[in-house]
């Protein structure tokens, strides 16, 4: 989002901002590299010294005393450093009751003689329960300077081996290490000290840095003299750093793996390449520091808008994960060695709060992370359909014209968006009366077609005594403060702006009231919200954000909570939308900034991308990374935010966007209008067809969202997650599966491409979704497919039953009574399975059991529909089990299966019967699922089989 400006000063700023993207792209100099951050310089250098040191001469100065039991599943160890023996630290290890053996490691400084303490509340915001229940079965044995904790299910044989001196912690399965903490002795926690007594020590040359004889260590290995330790200046900004140096570093080693994934959000490959060592792909570490960055590089470790400090390590034998609960600026180095992947994490502040996820498979990691931070809840069903946005739709007439044009050209649409121009003088909640004289009339007109609207509400609040939002924040004393205690104001789209402190509980009820339909009278329940700029973005602040020494509730500095900040804004907006109606309806709130746990509050998008081929190609890996880190409801601006894509490129963008969980077209104010109906044929037809395909496949998407709500499973599933033992697929990040549907999609991302290559891991047949062309079962195939502009790779994996609704209406809510089609793609054994989940799509009746959830099974002789249940998988808390006669099932008891299509039958059946009634069918011979012949598959079509989506039924094939 990049708006216009009103004041002369803002106009000049606006001109600079608006011209810049179209001339030089991202200004890398506006954002710090590790070498420009004093904490990162200090702590990252420990690794370079370790590498340069003679073998076995570099060891950790940290040592543990004997453990003390805290309670069931919890122990503490006094921890000291030979660098500063007088400073006291403490290690606490907890074994969680849930998650099949999640271990939690915390280290904090205790009994400091200063008035300071380290930020220890990240878990409060990120975890569903910041103090989860602990295991009653975990046990500890201590002998010979080592503590060993045994825990987890009996079959897992997990243990945590804690070496007392020097400190090292290893998570083992069956005696084999899978995660090792402090293997390289890079753990270091800077302690609080007073500036007036700090001693400046001589920095030795590299050749002189060495461990001294005896017990004394040269502190320069871990703490070099640093003129920026207590005050740091970067460009024109000075950070007062009242607590002095409080960074910490840790190293995590993953033995026996070659691939690590995660650390979103970055525009980088899914399998993270090296940032250090002889094979370094990047020259700087991956940075986790939420920033407002436009025209970001398509391949870079630079910070973007979100930060999830989660890493997965994967091999054909096992998968493990780590969640590092830290909300401050963090850099992560990755290095692949022959025997392991080694990582080095450096953070500016906070305690060490590390959760070890045991796996042992990717699906286990998804479930374990969801148990900790919460799954993606079921969104409003309409939000999974198509969204149309640009900066900006000018007025009410423009909005209604766009709405009308979609109808005229038979293109479905669910949501129209308004960027900041709707707000009078950038005062969110206040409509520009000249452009939108009657917002309720406009919203009602859109809603009459089952559609919704979304308006932007950003966290910056115009500093004006005539603005009720500002005066409320002033009177309630809920603004972020400067280091001197005065209220902070920075420059953003409205000009001089203040920022609400959502860490302050006093802001929560007030913010909820702002969305009440009695308070915001120009709103209706058809209006939903877009939270942009919540990193937070401050145009005149360091790194286009607010100063790190700003103060939040509780006296915490902004440096401590920077990456968490946007999530709290997102959360409170979502809670406000839930509260505005009785009974409550599901909220939809789009956020740009996010952190671990943000998936509980709504969707995100990948920000201000470019409408070019390079960014189109890079979006898939970014979204896969978000998905495996729980942020499933995500997408990219279709067409690119900046630039004017060619018609060919725009078609390819739409094809990619139609297979993103969040499907929204969006564009910069300076771009040409590119609503899909504006183009001539055949381009308009291509765009119309792909949007309509999204609507036909909405049952597939809703199934995937439902699975995500239960188990944390990604909606976009990368190759390694679906086939965790196929090493050839571990680095593939340009194709993916949609939930468990069996649909395999690959976007076409090269200009002029007439063919595309798709990889199949498993020895199952695959079917072209559009042509029914069958590719016989053969593992590890790399096939070349014809992909002219009118089509793209979309295949059905053999063994899948895909539900769809072929009748597309103006908006998805109007399709709720339409019949379904089942497409059955047979596996090599002539069998297939699938599912269908449905509820009212807007409310919380499903929690009380108001839904249908059916399992479809074809065994070669019968096709059955039976109730489906979560079984042993973790389920959304409080959801009533499925019963056939629930209220929603009764409401849609008339909805039928209108067609069953079976692909790959070896021969035509003699008869097909349902409930004793002979069914008519059509059969076209072709390639069979169990054969070796490639070509158009056999097709069996049963129209109007006389069965519904609610009750049990069985169809016999003889």
| The two three-digit tokens of residue 472, written as one number | 């409320």
Among the listed residues 108, 532, 549, 762, the single catalytic one is 532
CA separation for the pair 947, 348 (Å, rounded): 61
CA separation for the pair 166, 181 (Å, rounded): 12
Quick check: is 532 catalytic? yes
Coil, strand, or helix at residue 862?
Answer: strand
CA separation for the pair 529, 933 (Å, rounded): 52
Residues in CB range of 278: below 8 A, 6 or more apart:
none
Cβ 690 vs Cβ 598: under 8 Å: no
Give whole-number Cα distances, 619 to 625, 695, 883, 915, in Å: 10, 22, 40, 49
Determine if the peptide bond prior to 942 is cis (ω within 30°): no
Give whole-number Cα distances, 315 to 261, 286, 443, 532, 619, in Å: 11, 22, 52, 38, 25
The residue among 295, 314, 302, 319 whose CA lies nearest residue 265 is 302
| The two three-digit tokens of residue 180, written as one number | 């090792």
Quick check: is 608 catalytic? yes
Residues in CB range of 197: below 8 A, 6 or more apart:
none
Among the listed residues 284, 299, 535, 840, the single catalytic one is 535
Cβ 538 vs Cβ 545: under 8 Å: yes
CA 86 to chain centre: 42
Quick check: is 535 catalytic? yes
The residue among 793, 818, 789 whose CA lies nearest residue 803 is 818
| The two three-digit tokens of residue 937, written as one number | 């598959």
Among the listed residues 284, 557, 608, 675, the single catalytic one is 608
Give whole-number Cα distances, 37 to 27, 44, 231, 382, 899, in Å: 17, 10, 12, 44, 62
Strand partners, 758: 783
Q: At what angle do helices 558-579 and 506-514 cross, to 10 degrees?
A: 40
CA separation for the pair 381, 818 (Å, rounded): 15
Strand partners, 417: 454
Query: Given the structure tokens 């725009």, which residue do they identify?
Result: 650
Cβ 305 vs Cβ 291: under 8 Å: yes
Angle at 629 between CA 627 and CA 630, to 5 degrees: 70
Rounded to 10 degrees, what is the CA torsion of 743, 893, 414, 624? -30
Cβ 152 vs Cβ 360: under 8 Å: no
Cβ 851 vs Cβ 928: under 8 Å: no
Residue 424 burial class via C-beta count within 10 angstroms: exposed 0-12, middle 13-18, buried 19 and up = middle
Residue 922 parent element (H or E) = strand 922-924
The one-character DSSP state at 881 is P
Spell 31-70 as b/e; 16+ CB within 10 A means b: bbbbeebbbbbbbbbbbebbeebeeeebbbbbbbeebeee
CA separation for the pair 276, 335 (Å, rounded): 6
Q: Left if phi > 0, otherwise alpha if psi is -120 to 50, otherwise beta: which for 122?
A: alpha
Cβ 469 vs Cβ 461: under 8 Å: yes
Number of H helices, E strands in the chain: 15, 55
Strand ranges (E), 315-449: 319-324, 330-336, 340-347, 352-357, 386-388, 415-418
Task: Tell me which residues are annotated as active site.
Answer: 532, 535, 608
């Amino acid at each position: 989002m990049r708006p216009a400006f009103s004041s002369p000063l803002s106009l000049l700023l606006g001109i600079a901002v608006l011209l810049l993207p179209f001339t030089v792209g991202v200004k890398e100099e506006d954002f710090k590299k590790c070498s420009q951050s004093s904490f990162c310089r200090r702590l990252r250098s420990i690794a370079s010294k370790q590498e340069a040191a003679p073998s076995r001469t570099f060891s950790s100065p940290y040592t543990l005393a004997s453990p003390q039991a805290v309670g069931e599943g919890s122990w503490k160890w006094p921890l000291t450093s030979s660098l500063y023996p007088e400073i006291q630290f403490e290690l606490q290890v907890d074994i969680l009751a849930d998650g099949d053996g999640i271990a939690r490691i915390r280290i904090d400084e205790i009994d400091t003689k200063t008035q300071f303490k380290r930020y220890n509340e990240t878990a409060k915001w990120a975890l569903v329960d910041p103090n989860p229940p602990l295991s009653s079965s975990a046990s500890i044995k201590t002998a010979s300077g080592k503590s060993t904790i045994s825990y987890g299910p009996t079959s897992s044989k997990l243990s945590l081996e804690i070496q007392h001196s020097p400190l090292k912690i290893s998570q083992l399965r069956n005696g084999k290490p899978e995660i090792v903490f402090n293997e390289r002795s890079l753990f270091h926690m800077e302690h609080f000290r007073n500036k007036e007594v700090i001693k400046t020590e001589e920095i030795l040359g590299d050749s002189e840095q060495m461990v001294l004889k005896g017990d004394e260590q040269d502190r320069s290995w871990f703490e070099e003299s640093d003129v920026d330790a207590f005050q740091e200046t970067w460009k024109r900004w000075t950070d007062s750093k009242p607590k002095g140096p409080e960074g910490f570093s840790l190293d995590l080693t993953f033995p026996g793996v070659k691939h690590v994934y995660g650390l979103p959000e970055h525009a980088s490959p899914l399998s993270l390449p090296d940032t250090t060592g002889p094979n370094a792909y990047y020259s700087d570490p991956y940075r986790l520091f939420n920033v407002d960055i436009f025209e970001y590089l398509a391949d870079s470790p630079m910070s973007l808008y979100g930060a999830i400090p989660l890493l997965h390590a994967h091999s054909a034998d096992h998968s493990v994960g780590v969640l590092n609960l830290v909300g401050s600026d963090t850099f992560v180095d990755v290095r692949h060695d022959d025997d392991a992947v080694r990582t080095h994490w450096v953070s500016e502040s906070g305690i060490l709060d590390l959760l070890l996820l045991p796996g042992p498979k990717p699906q286990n990691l998804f479930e374990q992370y969801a148990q900790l931070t919460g799954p993606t809840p079921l969104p409003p069903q309409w939000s999974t359909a198509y969204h149309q946005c640009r900066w900006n739709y000018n007025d009410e007439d423009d909005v209604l014209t766009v709405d009308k044009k979609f109808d005229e050209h038979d293109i479905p649409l669910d949501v129209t968006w308004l960027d900041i121009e709707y707000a009078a003088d950038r005062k969110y909640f206040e409509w520009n009366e000249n452009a939108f004289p009657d917002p309720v009339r406009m919203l009602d007109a859109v809603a009459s077609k089952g559609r919704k609207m979304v308006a932007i509400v950003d966290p910056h609040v115009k500093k004006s005594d005539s603005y009720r939002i500002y005066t409320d924040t002033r009177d309630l004393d809920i603004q972020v403060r400067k280091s001197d205690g005065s209220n902070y104001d920075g420059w953003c789209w409205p000009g001089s702006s203040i920022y609400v402190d959502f860490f302050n509980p006093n802001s929560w009820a007030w913010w909820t009231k702002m969305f009440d339909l009695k308070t915001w009278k120009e709103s209706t329940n058809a209006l939903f919200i877009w939270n942009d700029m919540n990193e937070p973005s401050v145009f005149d602040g360091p790194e286009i954000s607010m100063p790190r020494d700003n103060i939040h509730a509780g006296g915490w500095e902004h440096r401590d909570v920077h990456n968490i900040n946007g999530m709290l804004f997102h959360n409170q907006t979502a809670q406000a939308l839930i509260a505005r109606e009785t009974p409550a309806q599901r909220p939809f709130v789009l956020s740009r900034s996010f952190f671990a746990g943000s998936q509980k509050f709504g969707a995100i998008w990948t920000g201000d991308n470019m409408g070019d081929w390079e960014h189109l190609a890079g979006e898939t890996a970014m979204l896969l990374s978000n998905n495996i880190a729980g942020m499933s409801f995500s997408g990219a601006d279709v067409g690119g935010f900046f630039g004017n894509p060619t018609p060919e490129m725009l078609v390819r963008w739409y094809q990619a966007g139609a297979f993103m969980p969040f499907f929204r077209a969006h564009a910069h104010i300076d771009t040409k209008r590119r609503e899909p109906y504006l183009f001539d044929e055949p381009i308009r037809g291509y765009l119309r067809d792909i949007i309509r395909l999204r609507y036909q496949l909405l049952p597939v998407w809703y199934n995937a969202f439902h699975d995500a709500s239960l188990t944390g499973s990604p909606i976009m599933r990368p190759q390694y997650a679906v086939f965790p033992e196929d090493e050839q697929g571990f680095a593939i990040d340009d194709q993916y599966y949609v939930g468990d549907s069996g649909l395999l999609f690959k976007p076409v991302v090269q200009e002029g491409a007439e063919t595309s290559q798709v990889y199949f891991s498993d020895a199952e047949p695959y079917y072209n979704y559009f042509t029914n062309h069958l590719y016989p079962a053969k593992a590890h195939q790399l096939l070349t497919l014809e992909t002219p502009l009118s089509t793209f790779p979309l295949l059905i994996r053999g063994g899948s039953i895909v539900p769809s609704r072929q009748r597309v209406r103006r908006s998805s809510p109007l399709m709720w009574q339409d019949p379904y089609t089942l497409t059955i793609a047979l596996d090599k054994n002539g069998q297939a399975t699938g599912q269908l989940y449905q509820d009212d799509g807007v409310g919380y009746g499903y929690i009380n059991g108001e839904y249908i959830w059916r399992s479809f099974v074809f065994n070669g002789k019968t096709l059955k529909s039976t109730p489906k249940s979560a079984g042993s998988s973790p389920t959304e808390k409080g959801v009533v089990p499925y019963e056939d006669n629930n209220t929603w099932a009764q409401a849609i008891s008339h909805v039928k299966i209108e067609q069953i299509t079976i692909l790959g039958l070896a021969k035509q059946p003699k008869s097909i019967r349902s409930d004793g009634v002979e069914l008519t069918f059509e059969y076209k011979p072709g390639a069979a699922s169990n054969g070796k012949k490639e070509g158009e598959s056999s097709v069996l079509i049963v129209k109007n089989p006389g069965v519904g989506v609610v009750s049990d039924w069985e169809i016999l094939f003889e």
